[in-house]
Amino acid sequence: MIVKMKKAKVFALKEYEDKLKRSLQRFGVLMITNENSTTHIADTQYEDSIISRSNRIVKELSKYEPKPSFFNPKFQIVDYDRFKEIHPEQLELLDQVEKTLADVSKLKEENELSKESITSFAPWLKLDVTTKDISNLYYVNIYLGQVLAQDVESFSEFLVTSNLEYEIYDKDANGVAYAIVSKNDISNDLKAAKFNLVELPVLDHSILDEVSFLQNKINENLETITNLEEKLKTYALSLDEIRLLSDQMLSEKELKKYEAEKTERTIYFEGWVREDQVDLLEKAVSKVTSEYEIDLRDPLPQENPPTHTKNNKFVAPFETITNMFSMPSYHEIDPNPVMSFWYWLFFGMMMGDWGYGVVMAIVFGLFLLIQKPKGDFKKLVQVLFYASIPSVIFGILYGSVFGISFDIGKALFGVPFKLFDPMSDPVTLLIVSLAVGTVHIFVALFVKAVRLAKEKDYLGILSDVVSWYLIIPGLVMLLVLKNIQVIAWSMVGVGALMILLFAGRDNKNFFKKITSGLGGLYGISGILSDILSYSRILALALSSGVIAFAMNIIGGLLLGPWYGYIFGVIVFIIGHIFNFAMGLLSAYVHDSRLQYIEFFGKFYDGGGYAFTPLKLQYNHIYEIEDNL
């Protein structure tokens, strides 16, 4: 259901503004809508800087942190009294880790440059003069360079023809290394002969000594990096303090966004509070000061309060499905209690394999139990866990376990549980899918009737709901029951007349009333199209069954020699994992589509916005314990 809201104004003395904001944030009950807060631009550069630095450190330092196992995850739970205090040691730790990481990065960069230099020096290790001596020559020129392997032969002819003295050294990817001696400037001739000049750094020692020096430097840096990384491992043991700092700053940043309205001596915050949390709001204020006042009123007709839904443990996870489409408006009916059952049912019909259903229960049940996800992700996992139940039920009714036809009822109790096999009898499942889909649409129309009744639009109930309750069964009777054609035509005719007379009820112009009525009658094609959309239940059940069946055949064909059993099992496992994953994705998407288009399309507008009170913000911490 949609929780009722109250508009609240909280008054207090000026000196309590900061403490009051912090208390409101701690309790998380007031969605502040002060005009100052909506136009106020907070200076959060400091908080943003700390958050950015902390998150980068968490990402880098987590590489050195012991990794928790799936079955023994780590949850950081912090007491509120600790959360509200930012210790100087946390900022010092942040600086120390940043410096250490910067030192490691600098040393690694130096090593990369040294390795590049060693690589470039590789062809010149046998050069027996220093590059400094070469650069200081006055009467003769020595040209150092390389020639590509495919050009060596032609270059050798050039050297002989030019009567040049030269020395050949080693080669690398850039070609063969040469040192060429000439009294004249022959640089242009060398370029024409495809000789690529190389500029080596000016050294007063040999290339071999330089490479040895660079290698020693690399080794020294590696030793230093090892020591620094050991230091980082020690810092990683305190990484929770950095995570905590990031979340503390996130909450501080959130706090700065809000500013009270002020008079000469007082301040006040205005906003929305849930009707069931008015007492908590008063408690939040009274913890700060006894000199306060809270004004409460119901929303005005022209106001659009935020939406907060409150449902039982089964329905609540399905709220994430609705919210992906659009959050319900405050003034309309919460669709989740009705939609949740149908989503749950259709998911099972689409999966339709009790082997996959058992796997879903185990995988998602363990994930919820061990990993303890939060927020919308938790709700999504809960939806998939709940959907394992109808998947098992319909798998038993279809007689399917991992694509194998098996009647568990007959095997265990001697009583057949299998009703029909979608693979051999798809027509039956198609009829069931269309029938269940028709009921689904009728339920949507009933919800619309309730909504129209709340709006006191009784002609709308006749035109938009009762008419279809007559037309759809009437059309079915015309197709199936030949002996009651008169009754069937009567139902269709009365329903059509209701649409023709009342669909244009809001138009005062007679011509527009008639055209609106005719347009309403055209909706018959839309309703029939919606009903046919439920054939996707058959399509998904068949696709999952066919792929599973195919994987079983392929795996079975490999059986024979001992190694065939190994490959057969591998094909079976990989094939069914793929089919399981695709089945989940397809069922999730197409089930959602049936709710969004065929179900919500009949009565649901959405367009609401979430109730987001000022509250503590945290991304890294799992939970803040607080005995309010």
Rounded to whole angstroms, how far apart are CA atoms 311 and 320? 12
pLDDT over threshold 70, residue 39: no
H/E stretch holding 310 reads none
Mean pLDDT of all residues in 62-86: 89
pLDDT of residue 549: 85
At 505, give phi and psi (nearest 5°): -60, -25
The pair of structure tokens assigned to 226 is: 């090892």
The answer to whether residues 398 and 350 touch, using CB atoms and an 8 Å cutoff, is no
The pair of structure tokens assigned to 370 is: 């061990």
Mean pLDDT estimate for the chain: 89
pLDDT tens digits for 554-566? Answer: 887 777 777 777 8
pLDDT over threshold 90, residue 506: no
Closest residue by Cα to residue 422 from 579, 591, 538: 538
Judged by average pLDDT, the poorest of 88-92, 102-106, 487-491 is 487-491
The DSSP line for 41-87 is ----HHHHHHHHHHHHHHHHHGGGSPPPBTTB----EEEHHHHT---
Q: Residue 560 half-sphere exposure, CB side, CA atoms within 13 Å?
A: 3
The pair of structure tokens assigned to 333 is: 């009916």
pTM greater than the 0.75 cutoff = yes
Amino acid letter, 519: G
pLDDT tens digits for 244-296? Answer: 999 999 999 999 988 888 888 899 999 999 999 999 999 999 999 998 999 99
pLDDT tens digits for 525-580? Answer: 778 888 999 999 999 999 988 888 888 888 877 777 777 778 888 888 898 899 99
Q: How confident is the model at residue 517 (pLDDT cuts 50, 70, 90)?
A: low
Rounded to whole angstroms, how far apart are CA atoms 222 and 623? 40
